[in-house]
């Protein structure tokens, strides 16, 4: 590797013999990337919209939040606690998806890359 | 605690000091000193193994997911959460609850989009990731600038909060006494960070988070027990003593933010998008051995922080029912005194002493966490990577980091004393707004958009930072109203919102896009491919340090 290329290397990243541009086009890597983004991006969009819908109703339509549901619980409290529930649920769902789908594939690719690096 | 934007309308409460009869400063100080003694021992033990830069900055990446999750919760649950949110719910009811929700939901951004990818590509700082495939110099300097800015705002708010807390808990109301306490807090913090490095600081966070959550949990059970474990009955008794009109207005949004709903929406956006851009939160993804542990730590943090905010909901309405909003507002410390007064009502002076010491410990730990983040960023991004072009001696880098700790400590003591009594409640909101406008766009673009360039990064970071700070200066926070920093007499406020996020965050994203599409310089496609492969697979990620 030439001096100028060496200088461009990010801190602590050692030059590697792996052709990353080619590796990025391997079907398995494309599958991992697709699976990961396909899972997290829609989920991120969902919680974002759900949270902002809630905030906007709370800010501009407080009367809707005052609708009684049961006991002293009104719609505002129920929807607010609903935010807790969805946050916890998304967390658990993501963890289980990662453990089942993303981690095994990621580990497989990592082993493959480590093997390539040795050669 | 001064550090929440919801307290902006409560200036000068500290001045009208009425000493609660049963408050026992000696007891409060003793419990706090016990905490300091225990944590110092831990810090000294943890500091023994600090040899390399990785040890000092990341605690050797040796923390487990659950440990790191506690530390994240410890970093995140500042005194603003404990005192501020309990107080806000006690006084403003539902609106206080609304505020706490943003802090929780924000963690999904960190979990889904940032934590693992950051851990896989970075080494010590946020700039490691941002500059991975872009030009090192300009991107690192920009990232270090925004990191230091966020840390500075956050630190100043915490230090000023320490002074305010003193008048409430120790009965010290004069400026000299408060300055002494700020100096003591700053001095202790410098000691913790110098001796313990990241490992020591992390253990302080873990201990503090554990005590805080156990303490808040115990008080929650106590409050619920008084009300026959019926939350609805608790709400009934809070309504019964409420002075708001109508009395059940405390269960509906509007008591706090009703007058300016757009300001609240703007705050909510900054809270949700800012958390994953806070440098001291990002730093926590490097203290674990792998991306999987980084994910586990965020999951633990979400459960702990979520549980804590559910506790504050009970404690807030409990304080409203058992202490009463008007008593809280009349006490020294105003709205911040809700949690201490509730503990006094429940368990007498001893419990008050415990919760006061906890509040102090909270400030101490949070300040330490931010300081080590700022020092790491300066030493690693500016000294090592820019001044020494990556060729400096790693030992010298750690030395620089330690010196930076002392300088930041002294600056924050001076700043903390300087801003005593000032209405600086906006600082934490400002820190979140800068993190959301300057840091998060660049982080997300770096991780998810191949077309992102050096110019985009630099424009987004400097642009986001200056627009946010600029809008704050021309907002009612600085001038034009009774509660402004310059009072009602001076008025140069043409921006109507106290929270600039709704404008500054889109600008940050827009500038990142604009800078990138107008770039003439092509970025290295090899590094882009490498970053993508590494971030997804964890190949080549920094390993834990073996001792």
CB contact B532 to A (< 8 Å): yes
State how far the Cα of A57 lies from the Cα of A65, in Å rounded to an integer: 8
**CB contact set of A26 (below 8 Å; sequence gap of 6+):** none
| Pick from A87-96, B66-75, B347-356: least confident | B347-356
pLDDT(A17) > 90: no
User: What's CA B262's distance to the chain center, in Å?
Assistant: 23
Q: At B60, is the pLDDT very low, low, confident or very high (cuts 50, 70, 90)?
A: confident
* Contact present, B50 and B197 (Cβ < 8 Å): yes
Residues B233-283: pLDDT tens digits?
A: 999 889 888 888 787 888 888 888 888 899 999 999 999 999 999 999 999
Torsion angle, CA of A82/A88/A91/A97, rounded to 10 degrees?
Answer: -90
Identify the pLDDT of residue B53. 85
At B453, give phi and psi (nearest 5°).
-125, 175
State how far the Cα of B262 lies from the Cα of B150, in Å rounded to an integer: 24
CB contact A75 to B (< 8 Å): no
| More confident site: B471 or B170 | B471
Start-end of H helices in B8-135: 25-47, 53-58, 65-76, 79, 86-92, 94-109, 115-121, 126-130
Q: At A14, is the pLDDT very low, low, confident or very high (cuts 50, 70, 90)?
A: low
Mean pLDDT value across chain B = 87
What pairs with residue A73 in β-bridges?
A: A70
- Cα three-residue angle B281-B306-B58, rounded to 5 degrees: 25
Identify the pLDDT of residue A8. 52
CB contact B272 to A (< 8 Å): yes
Q: At B146, is the pLDDT very low, low, confident or very high (cuts 50, 70, 90)?
A: very high
pLDDT(B411) > 80: yes
- In chain A, positions 6-45, which contact chain B (CB-CB < 8 Å)? 7-8, 10-14, 16, 18, 20-21, 23-24, 29, 32-33, 36-37, 40, 43-44
| Pick from A65-69, B18-22, B269-273, B414-418: least confident | B18-22
Please answer yes or no on whether A29 and B265 come within 8 Å at the CB atom: no
pLDDT(A4) > 50: no
The model's pTM is 0.90
> For A65, which of B252, B309, B532 is closest by C-beta distance?
B252
Percentage with pLDDT > 90 across chain B: 46
pLDDT(A113) > 50: yes
Q: At B17, is the pLDDT very low, low, confident or very high (cuts 50, 70, 90)?
A: very low
- Could you tell me which of B472, B477, B515 has the C-alpha nearest to residue B149? B472
State how far the Cα of B334 lies from the Cα of B11, in Å rounded to an integer: 9
Please answer yes or no on whether B309 and A84 come within 8 Å at the CB atom: yes
Identify the pLDDT of residue B390. 80
**CB contact set of B259 (below 8 Å; sequence gap of 6+):** none
Q: DSSP class of residue B252?
A: S
Identify the pLDDT of residue A15. 62
Q: How far apart are the first and last CA of chain B?
A: 41
> For A114, which of B248, B272, B539 is closest by C-beta distance?
B539
Please answer yes or no on whether A80 and B97 come within 8 Å at the CB atom: yes
CB contact A58 to B (< 8 Å): yes
CB contacts, 8 Å: A100 with chain B: none
Cα Rg of chain A, angstroms:
23
- Could you tell me which of B76, B100, B8, B6 has the C-alpha nearest to residue B424? B8
State how far the Cα of B133 lies from the Cα of B527, in Å rounded to an integer: 5
Q: Which of B130, B509, B536, B538 to mutate to test the interface with A (most CBs of A within 10 A)?
A: B536
Residues B84-98: pLDDT tens digits?
A: 889 999 998 999 998
CB contact A53 to B (< 8 Å): no
Please answer yes or no on whether A113 and B537 come within 8 Å at the CB atom: yes
Q: At B8, is the pLDDT very low, low, confident or very high (cuts 50, 70, 90)?
A: very low
CB contact B247 to A (< 8 Å): no
| Closest approach of B107 to chain A, Cα-based (Å) | 9
Identify the pLDDT of residue A10. 58
**CB contact set of A27 (below 8 Å; sequence gap of 6+):** none
| Pick from B304-313, B370-379, B449-458, B475-484: least confident | B475-484
Q: Which of A10, A14, A40, A109 to mutate to test the interface with B (most CBs of B within 10 A)?
A: A10
Please answer yes or no on whether B302 and A88 come within 8 Å at the CB atom: yes
Please answer yes or no on whether B530 and A103 come within 8 Å at the CB atom: no
Identify the pLDDT of residue B547. 65
Range picked from B8-17, B45-54, B230-239 for highest mean pLDDT: B230-239
Please answer yes or no on whether A91 and B302 come within 8 Å at the CB atom: yes
Q: Looking only at Cα atoms, what is the longest distance across chain A? A: 73
Identify the pLDDT of residue B2. 34
Identify the pLDDT of residue B278. 94
Cα B396 to Cα B57, B137, B162: the distances in Å are: 14, 20, 33
**CB contact set of A115 (below 8 Å; sequence gap of 6+):** none
Q: How many CB atoms lie within 10 A of CB B384?
A: 25
- Cα three-residue angle B91-B348-B163, rounded to 5 degrees: 60
ipTM over 0.95: no
């Amino acid at each position: 590797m030439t001096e100028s290329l060496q200088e461009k290397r990010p801190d602590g990243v050692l030059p590697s013999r792996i052709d990353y541009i080619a590796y990025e086009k391997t079907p398995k890597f494309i599958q991992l990337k697709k699976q990961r983004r396909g899972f997290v991006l829609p989920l991120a969009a969902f919680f974002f919209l759900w949270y902002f819908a809630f905030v906007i109703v709370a800010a501009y339509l407080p009367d809707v939040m005052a609708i009684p549901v049961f006991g002293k619980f009104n719609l505002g409290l129920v929807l607010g606690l609903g935010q807790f529930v969805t946050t916890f649920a998304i967390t658990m769902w993501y963890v289980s998806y990662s453990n089942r789908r993303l981690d095994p594939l990621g580990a497989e690719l990592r082993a493959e890359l480590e093997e390539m690096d040795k050669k | 605690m001064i550090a929440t934007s919801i307290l902006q309308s409560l200036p000068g409460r500290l001045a009208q000091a009425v000493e609660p009869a049963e408050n026992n400063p000696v007891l409060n100080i003793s419990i706090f000193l016990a905490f300091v003694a225990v944590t110092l021992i831990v810090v000294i033990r943890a500091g023994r193994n600090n040899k390399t830069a990785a040890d000092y900055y990341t605690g050797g990446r040796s923390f487990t997911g659950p440990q790191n999750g506690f530390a994240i919760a410890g970093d995140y649950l500042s005194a603003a959460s404990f005192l501020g949110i309990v107080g806000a719910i006690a006084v403003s009811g539902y609106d206080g609850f609304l505020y706490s929700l943003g802090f929780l939901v924000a963690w999904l951004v960190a979990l889904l989009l940032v934590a693992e990818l950051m851990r896989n590509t970075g080494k010590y700082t946020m700039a490691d990731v941002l500059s991975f495939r872009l030009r090192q110099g300009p991107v690192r300097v920009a990232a270090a600038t925004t990191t230091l800015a966020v840390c500075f705002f956050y630190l100043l708010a915490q230090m000023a909060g320490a002074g305010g807390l003193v008048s409430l808990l120790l009965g010290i109301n004069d400026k000299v006494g408060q300055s002494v306490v700020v100096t003591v807090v700053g001095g202790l913090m410098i000691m913790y960070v110098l001796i313990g490095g990241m490992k020591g600081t992390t253990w302080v966070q873990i201990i503090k988070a554990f005590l805080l959550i156990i303490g808040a949990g115990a008080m929650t059970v106590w409050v619920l027990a008084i009300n026959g474990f019926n939350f609805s009955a608790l709400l009934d008794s809070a309504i019964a003593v409420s002075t708001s009109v109508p009395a059940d207005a405390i269960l509906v949004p509007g008591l706090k933010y009703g007058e300016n709903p757009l300001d609240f929406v703007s705050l909510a956006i900054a809270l949700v998008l800012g958390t994953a851009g806070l440098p001291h939160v990002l730093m926590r993804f490097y203290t674990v051995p792998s991306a999987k542990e980084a994910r586990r730590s965020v999951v633990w943090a979400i459960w702990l922080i979520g549980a804590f905010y559910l506790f504050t909901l009970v404690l807030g309405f409990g304080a409203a029912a058992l202490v009463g909003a008007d008593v809280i507002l009349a006490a020294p410390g105003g709205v911040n005194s809700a949690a201490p007064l509730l503990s006094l009502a429940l368990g007498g002076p001893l419990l008050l002493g415990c919760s006061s010491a906890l509040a102090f410990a909270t400030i101490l730990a949070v300040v330490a966490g931010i300081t080590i983040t700022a020092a790491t960023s300066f030493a690693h991004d500016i000294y090592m990577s820019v001044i020494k072009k990556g060729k400096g001696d790693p030992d010298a880098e750690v030395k620089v980091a330690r010196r930076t700790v002392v300088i930041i400590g002294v600056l924050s003591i001076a700043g903390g004393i300087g801003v005593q009594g000032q209405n600086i409640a906006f600082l934490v909101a400002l820190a979140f707004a800068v993190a959301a406008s300057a840091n998060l766009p660049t982080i997300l673009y770096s991780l998810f958009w191949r077309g992102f360039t050096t110019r985009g990064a630099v424009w987004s970071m400097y642009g986001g930072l200056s627009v946010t700070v600029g809008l704050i200066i021309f907002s009612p926070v600085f001038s034009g109203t009774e509660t402004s920093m310059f009072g009602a007499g001076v008025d140069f406020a043409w921006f109507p919102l106290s929270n600039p996020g709704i404008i500054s965050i889109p600008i940050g994203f827009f500038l990142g896009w604009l800078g990138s599409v107008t770039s003439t310089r092509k970025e290295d496609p090899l590094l882009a491919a490498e970053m993508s492969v590494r971030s997804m697979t964890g190949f080549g990620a920094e390993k834990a340090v073996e001792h």
